[in-house]
């Protein structure tokens, strides 16, 4: 068959079965989501949108499999007109080069069976496409870190395959133990801590290299402005961050949701904190014995690590930053230490039960195993923005103890409290399903969100009163 004959046998553009199915799906979704959502049925809208997004994840991954396979075989170059599949996706899909690279690398890892557990978790819906990408990037980063790792003479080196498997197993186990609430950002932070435990010497090496390259540059322009650049190790960065946080005022609640870089922007408040810290440091540069700690930095580290067993864990700040143990030992010589003792399960011993507000020590104990807001469906708000919330409400008899406190950001704390006071128990978003929707759904011609009539909830004690009143009104 000639090339021209092959051209004639191809289906016209936009008329394949896939095109027909996608057109029908888009039309159904557009009509369904254009319908007004009845009051009280917002949860149905959220659940439906969640399932639609899962289907989109599945379709993207399924589409990329043959594309990646063809690119690996070298049969795609001539057809697409680009040297790599990544370049073609950038221009064909209108996505960034980093996004195209992540998608291609993930599908290649699935194709070569490098991440079998992640592949299964994505296929069943336990992981989203972005979460699967985060797992791949974390395992790939750990494998690359192996090149700089050193091992004792009596220890067998870890291979790339072993490192990839240990990282993948650790991340997925943490998600399962956390009931799937690890977001993409939290997966990255947890993977950093896990890598530090598996390769503790790499943390020390990275710190030494960054510390050796430390520096600062101050440029003052002729037109009344200046630019300050500072670079160094992440350990010094954690100290600077903690110092600036202590001087940074909270945002104005009226302007924060519409932050456009004005007077209350995050950048401007950070600048004011920086200048305040400089002024205070300048006026106290002769002070040799400050009455209170200059910087408060919360760090969690097993005592056996300080004793020398670097494989038992890592030193981690409340923001999830991993610190070199050598730096922590140096800090301890000039720090005020507040120890928190835990049991064998890592639960911090509680203190105090008779007051509602948590003391600083109790707050630190309750937050010890968290790095972000503990909202069940996931939240990336850092601990410094969180409040000490009673898991069982204080007014319901919940004690003020570490095992009954959790970090919640102000938004989720208010939502939790409002839901606890609800008398009309309408349904809320149920969270992302842990199983991907399977099979084609029924044909839908109307809105996807049901619109049943819902009678107002009547407290049991008032039903008899209403019935009696109705009888009195009946002639």
Q: What token pair was written down for 235?
A: 């350990």
* Model confidence pLDDT, tens digit, residues 298-342: 787 777 777 667 666 778 887 778 888 888 877 776 666 666 655
In a domain? residue 313: no
In a domain? residue 158: no
Number of domains in the chain: 1
Sequence-ordered list of residues with C-beta below 8 angstroms from that of 389, at least 6 positions apart, any chain: 405, 406, 407, 408, 413, 416
Q: Token pair 């903690």 is at which residue? A: 242
In a domain? residue 414: yes
* Model confidence pLDDT, tens digit, residues 442-460: 333 344 444 333 344 444 4
Sequence-ordered list of residues with C-beta below 8 angstroms from that of 459, at least 6 positions apart, any chain: 423
- Helices 129-145 and 116-124, packing angle to 10 deg: 170
Give, in order, the Cα–Cα distances in Å from 302 to each of 42, 295, 347: 45, 22, 12
Greater confidence, 190 or 428?
190
In a domain? residue 395: yes
Range of the domain at 380: 343-422
Give, in order, the Cα–Cα distances in Å from 75 to each of 68, 84, 327, 362, 415: 10, 11, 53, 62, 54
pLDDT at 82: 84
Q: What token pair was written down for 165?
A: 């498997």
pLDDT at 428: 62
Where does residue 152 rank: exposed (0-12), middle (13-18), buried (19+ CB within 10 A)? exposed
In a domain? residue 204: no
In a domain? residue 298: no
In a domain? residue 385: yes
In a domain? residue 377: yes
Query: Over 50: is that where the pLDDT of 207 sits?
Result: yes
* DSSP helix/strand/coil, 189: helix
pLDDT at 201: 83
**Which candidate, 132, 238, 143, places its Cα nearest to that of 198?**
143
* Model confidence pLDDT, tens digit, residues 158-201: 888 999 999 999 999 988 886 556 788 889 988 988 988 888 88
* Model confidence pLDDT, tens digit, residues 1-50: 444 444 444 445 667 888 889 999 999 999 989 988 888 888 888 999 98
pLDDT at 460: 45
pLDDT at 5: 43
pLDDT at 463: 43
Query: Over 70: is that where the pLDDT of 363 sits?
Result: yes
At 419, the pLDDT band (50, 70, 90 cuts) reads confident
């Amino acid at each position: 068959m000639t090339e021209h004959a092959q051209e004639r046998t191809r289906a016209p553009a936009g008329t394949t079965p896939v095109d027909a199915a996608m057109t029908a799906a888009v039309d159904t979704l557009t009509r369904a989501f254009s319908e007004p959502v009845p009051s009280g049925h917002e949860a149905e809208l959220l659940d439906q949108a969640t399932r639609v997004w899962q289907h989109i994840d599945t379709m993207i991954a399924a589409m990329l499999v043959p594309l990646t396979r063809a690119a690996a075989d070298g049969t795609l170059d001539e057809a697409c007109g680009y040297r790599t599949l990544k370049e073609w996706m950038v221009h064909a899909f209108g996505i960034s080069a980093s996004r195209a690279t992540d998608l291609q690398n993930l599908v290649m890892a699935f194709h070569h069976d490098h991440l079998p557990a992640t592949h299964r978790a994505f296929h069943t819906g336990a992981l989203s496409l972005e979460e699967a990408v985060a797992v791949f990037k974390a395992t790939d980063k750990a494998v690359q870190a192996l090149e700089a790792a050193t091992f004792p003479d009596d220890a067998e080196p870890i291979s790339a395959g072993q490192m990839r498997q240990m990282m993948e197993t650790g991340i997925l186990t943490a998600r399962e133990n956390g009931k799937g609430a690890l977001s993409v950002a939290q997966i990255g932070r947890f993977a950093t801590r896990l890598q530090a435990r598996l390769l503790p010497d790499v943390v020390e090496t990275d710190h030494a290299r960054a510390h050796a390259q430390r520096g600062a540059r101050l440029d003052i322009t002729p037109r009344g402005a200046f630019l300050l650049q500072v670079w160094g190790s992440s350990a010094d960065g954690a100290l600077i961050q903690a110092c600036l946080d202590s001087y940074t005022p909270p945002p104005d609640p009226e302007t924060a949701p519409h932050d456009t870089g004005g007077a209350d922007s995050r950048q401007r408040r950070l600048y004011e904190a920086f200048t305040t810290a400089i002024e205070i440091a300048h006026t106290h540069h002769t002070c040799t014995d400050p009455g209170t700690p200059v910087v408060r930095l919360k760090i969690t580290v097993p005592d056996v690590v300080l004793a020398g067993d670097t494989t038992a864990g890592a030193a981690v700040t409340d923001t999830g930053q991993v610190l070199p143990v050598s730096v922590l030992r140096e800090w301890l010589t000039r720090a005020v230490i507040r120890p928190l003792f835990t049991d064998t399960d890592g639960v911090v011993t509680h203190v105090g039960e008779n007051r509602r507000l948590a003391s600083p020590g109790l707050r630190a104990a309750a937050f010890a195993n968290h790095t972000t807001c503990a909202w069940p469906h996931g939240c990336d708000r850092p601990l410094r923005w969180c409040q000490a919330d009673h898991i069982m409400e204080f007014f319901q008899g919940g004690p003020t103890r570490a095992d009954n406190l959790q970090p919640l950001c102000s938004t989720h704390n208010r939502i939790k409290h409002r839901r606890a006071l609800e008398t009309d128990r309408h349904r809320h978003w149920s969270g992302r399903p842990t199983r991907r929707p399977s099979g084609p759904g029924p044909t839908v011609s109307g809105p996807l969100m049901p619109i049943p009539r819902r009678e107002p909830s009547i407290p049991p004690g008032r039903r008899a009163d209403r019935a009696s009143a109705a009888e009195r009104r009946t002639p």
